[in-house]
Amino acid sequence: MSPTQILEIEDIEKHFGGLAALDGVNAHVESGKLTAIIGANGAGKTTLFNVITGILPPSAGRVKFLGQDITNKPVHEISKLGLARTLQIKSVFNGMTVRENLWIAAQSRDGVFKPFQRASASSRANQVADQLCEELGLTQFANQEAANLSYGDIALLEIGIALATEPKLLLLDEPICGMGPAETEQTVEKIRNLAKRIDIVIIEHDIEVVFEVSDEVIVMAQGKVLARGTPAEISTNAEVRTAYLGDDDDA
> Is 169 in contact with 7 (CB distance < 8 Å)?
yes
Query: 85 lies in a domain?
Result: yes
Query: 178 lies in a domain?
Result: yes
Give the pLDDT score at 122.
Answer: 64
The CATH number linked to 110 is 3.40.50.300
Beta bridge partners of 207: none
Helical pair 181-194 and 151-163, crossing angle rounded to 10 deg? 10
Q: What is the pLDDT of residues 56-80, one digit of tens each?
A: 999 999 999 999 999 999 998 999 9
* Domain of residue 60, residue span: 5-245
Query: 251 lies in a domain?
Result: no
Closest CA to 161 of 115, 209, 96, 77: 96
Average pLDDT value for residue range 168-183? 89
Give the pLDDT score at 217.
Answer: 96
CA gap 237, 178 in Å, rounded: 28
Give the pLDDT score at 93.
Answer: 85
Sequence-ordered list of residues with C-beta below 8 angstroms from that of 191, at least 6 positions apart, any chain = 34, 159, 172, 175, 200, 202, 213
CA gap 231, 92 in Å, rounded: 32
Query: 250 lies in a domain?
Result: no
Q: What are phi and psi of 209, to 5 degrees?
A: -65, -45
Query: 148 lies in a domain?
Result: yes
Overall domain count for the chain: 1
